Every structure is written in structure tokens, then in C-alpha cells.
Structure 1
């Protein structure tokens, strides 16, 4: 900002007045944007206004949360079930330890032998947390159904396969369940010493390759143990999960409903509309006006940039 004022030749009291004018204009513009956002949130004539018990209007985010909660209750009422939501919208949201705790607690409190509906919209997540969820689902003896309106990739696919039936949207996606290690496919890391002379590889890479090989063995064992019998052939073979773990597909490969059926999964596409509604994303925040009051060393205005999110949610050790 000071660089802008100096560049305009506004110094002394004139510069101070200019700074005040610019800041005042910024505040007025921000208020106008805020008012515009509120006006957008107001219902049209004849529509109801959502109020809290105190009679005040709710923010768009509060309205969204309440609408999702209402839809979940309606879903449970129509199906006489307990709903588990594993729904992730933000780039850095995925199945983690908090997700596992939430799922375990819901299953602990659910009626013994009662129906469980798992609504999935997730890119995947941490292997250890996923295994906890799989174990908790296996321990619950009632019928379990997974609903996938849009996507349940990686760990989400494994959670879906732990249920008796998977109900997918017509364009929904499942995906391979191969583990990713240090942002790289564990399968390729495990094969690295066979493709390259180990004498020319760093010790760290060799250790990483051995750990990736171990991760592949564990992934096959866990997948075979926790996949629901409804998705296995009559022999009880693990060929399905072995194929999804090490079938040579890219980790982001989309498995659409018709291909999921070809894999032998117990899949239906009779997805209730409420499942789509429950997975609708939250409202986006109004943009902010940000003014930097400091200059960089080279005299240019410093602009604060948002931190870049990782390229994908499967990049850390133990992610799948």
C-alpha cells in the first residue's frame, strides 16, 4: 500500500489523506460485498426464512448444516436405519482417525442387529483409520448398505465393499485399493529393485521399496479379510481384492457401476434421491478483499497467496 502511495507521489499530509481515502473505500467495498452476500442468502418472496430460536436469520452455512441433518433424519426414517456419513468436500478432507472415531461411536450406539446405511462421498484416506472402520462394520451383525452418489475412491471403495450391498449413482465411481507410499504407488516402489541395479540405488530408496512391498502384502490381507461375503464368488476366493490391489490400474482409475458389476460386486443403481441431497457441497465463502501494508525487499507489493493443497489425498505413508 505504501509503495502504491509513494508511486503516486502522494507524501506528507496529502499521502496520509490518500491512505485514509483508499482504506475507507476498501472498507465500504467490503461492506457492500458482505451485504450483497446476505442479500443472496435471503429467500425470494413467498419462501420461508430459516430462523434460530432467538428469531435471527441463520448464515448460509448454518442453513446447509441443518438441511443436511434434516435429510439424514428423513433417510433414516424411510429406511428404518442408522446413517453413517463419510462425506468429504474440501481438498484436504479424507478418512482419518477422527472419521474412524465417529464411525465406531455411531456403530456402538446403533441398535444391535439394526440396519446400517453408509453414505460415502470421499477420495479415500489413511489405511490404519480405514481398517478400524472395516473392523467395526464387520463386528456389526445387522444388514449394511453403502450408498455412493458420486464417488468412493480408494479407502472409500474398501468401506463400500465391507457392506452387503453397494448402491451407486448412474455415474458414480469406485476405484482401485492399491496402497500409495510416499506419494507413489506401492506396487511400483516394490518392483523398483528388479527394474534397476540395487547397487545404483540409495539406501533410503531400498528401504522404502521393502516397506512398500510389505504394504502390498498387508493391503491384500486386509482387503480379503474385510470384504463382505456378498462380493465374493462361491469359492470365497480373494481374486477380486487381489485384482483391485495389484491389477495394474492407475490409482485414480474410475470403476463405474457396470464395471463394478463385472468385477462381481453386489451393485445396484437404484439410488434414492435423498442420498444425492445429503452429499451436496456446502456454500462457498464470499471473497475477501486483502490489502498488504508491507513491501517486499525489491519494492514490489507483497501479496499473500493461499497455501497450495497437495496434489492428491493419497500421498502420505500408509494412505490408500
Structure 2
């Protein structure tokens, strides 16, 4: 079995560099990594150890599936105090960089576990997934709501379990569903609606149209044009609550290319995250 450096995750060649730290002998790939690891405080060492373990699990998963594995997993890390995690621009930079570094003829597995996030961030990742020349599989072991679903729709296939869930992709403005803001104009006379809400309703209309057109584009090569248009309208129009679960059978009924069977290594990867401490899906911003 290939040994990997606990600090940087690189393979250790020959004998590597061994240091005794806190009474335990640890092997590194280089003198640099040994010195850097020794300089870390307790939480830093914890992070390095866990990241090294994840790198090993991902490497094995890549060998088994013959793919490039990229992760977008939102759970509180054991070394962090904050628990608010969602799809951010920083996530976009990370995922796009990894996709761009992957050869065009190499298949990609994108492991998704997220309550959603920023509109632009999710859109950019979805476009990168759509544009990768080789096959892209999105793996959803538990949930990929809102912006996570938008990314999943861009993939060539979605791998789920029967009780894994996706969700609607209707935009939320300030925590309010865009569809609700639009309908407000038809329920109250204009003079009784604040200027702010009138302006928000116009932004909501534009937001829904924008996401609807994107979803249509993402589905263009996956189903008939008219069916793609109707599905895009349903998913973006606010016809259900934003946290309504779309389970495997429902996704299959939408004619999405969904398959059952999460690779066991994916659950090994999740074992390294802290459970029970992250934002719930219904609080998604997208």
C-alpha cells in the first residue's frame, strides 16, 4: 500500500523522513513537511492528519473507479469553530481549478453534500461540470439541495440511494422565495406594497427567468426540448417549498439519468467529517 505524507498528502518515496512527535513516530515525504508539521499547533496537526487520511481514501476511490475525484462537502470540520457552510465563491475556485486540471478524456466523480449556497457560485460550477468533455458523475450520498441540485443537473449521471435527496432550485432573495415575491403583486394593490418589495419582486422575476434558462441549457442534451423546458419551469417556479425532497424515484420520473449505488469508499470519506454540526438544508441561501 502506498504511504502518503501526513502533511501534504503526497506519496512517500523510499524511506521518507521520520520524526518522533508527541511520542509517536511519523513519516513524511520530505524534510520540509516534517518541519512544517512540527510547527503546527494541536488543531493544525489534527487538520493535517485528517486531510492526509482523506487524500488516501480519495486515491483508492480513484483507482477503483478510474476517475478524478473532486469533493464539495459541507460539514463542520473538527478543527473549525464555525458551522455555517454553503456553496461559496471559494468553493467555485477550488472545484473549477480541479476540473480544469483534469485531462479532457478523464472521467470525473464529483461528491456532493451541500444545503446549497450562492447563486453565482453554483452556476459557475454547474457550467464547468457541463463543459467537461469526458463523463461527469455527481455522487449524492445524502443530500444536494438547491444550488447542489443545480450542479447535479449538469452532470452526465447522478448516483444516489433511494433515500438520497435533491431539491427545487427556485432562487431565494433575502431568505424569501422568488415566486412568493412575484405573487405578492397579484394579491395586494400596488399602493399597499412597499417600494422595496416592488423592486425585490422585479429582481425575483429576473432571477427565476435566469435560473430557468440555465436549467433548460443544462438539460438540453439529456431530454426532449419541451420536456426540459417544463422540468426547468417546475424546479425554478416555486411550486413547492424550497426544502421539498426529490428522492431517487421522483428524479427517475423526471427522466434524469439517476443510478443507485454509492461506492463504499465515499462513506469512508464521510467518516472523517464531524456529523451533527452544520447548516440544515432548509436554510440554504440559493
TM-score bracket for this pair, using the shorter chain length: 0.7 to 0.9
Displacement of 1:52 in angstroms is 4.8
Aligned to 1:277: 268
State TM-score, norm by structure 1: 0.70
Displacement of 1:107 in angstroms is 1.4
Aligned to 1:263: 254
Aligned to 1:73: 59
Aligned to 1:186: 178
Aligned to 1:173: 165
Aligned to 1:314: 284
Mapped to 1, the partners of 2:190 and 2:165 lie a distance apart of 38
Structure of greater Rg: 1
State TM-score, norm by structure 2: 0.77
SS at match of 2:105: coil
Aligned to 2:31: none
Displacement of 1:228 in angstroms is 6.1
Trace 1:15-30 onto structure 2 (pairs within 5 A).
none
Trace 1:201-216 onto structure 2 (pairs within 5 A).
201-216=193-208
Aligned to 1:136: 128
Mapped to 2, the partners of 1:252 and 1:93 lie a distance apart of 17
Mapped to 2, the partners of 1:134 and 1:185 lie a distance apart of 21
Mapped to 1, the partners of 2:27 and 2:271 lie a distance apart of 22
SS at match of 2:228: coil
Mapped to 1, the partners of 2:235 and 2:268 lie a distance apart of 29
RMSD of aligned alpha carbons: 2.5
Change (3 A) 1:195 1:132: same
Displacement of 1:62 in angstroms is 3.7
Contact 1:80/1:115 (CA < 8 Å) preserved in 2? Answer: yes
- 1:114 aligns to 2:109 (yes or no): no
Change (3 A) 1:311 1:76: closer
Q: Which shows bigger deviation, 176-185 or 256-265?
A: 256-265
Contact 1:224/1:241 (CA < 8 Å) preserved in 2? Answer: yes
Aligned to 1:51: 26
Mapped to 1, the partners of 2:197 and 2:102 lie a distance apart of 46
Mapped to 1, the partners of 2:265 and 2:230 lie a distance apart of 34
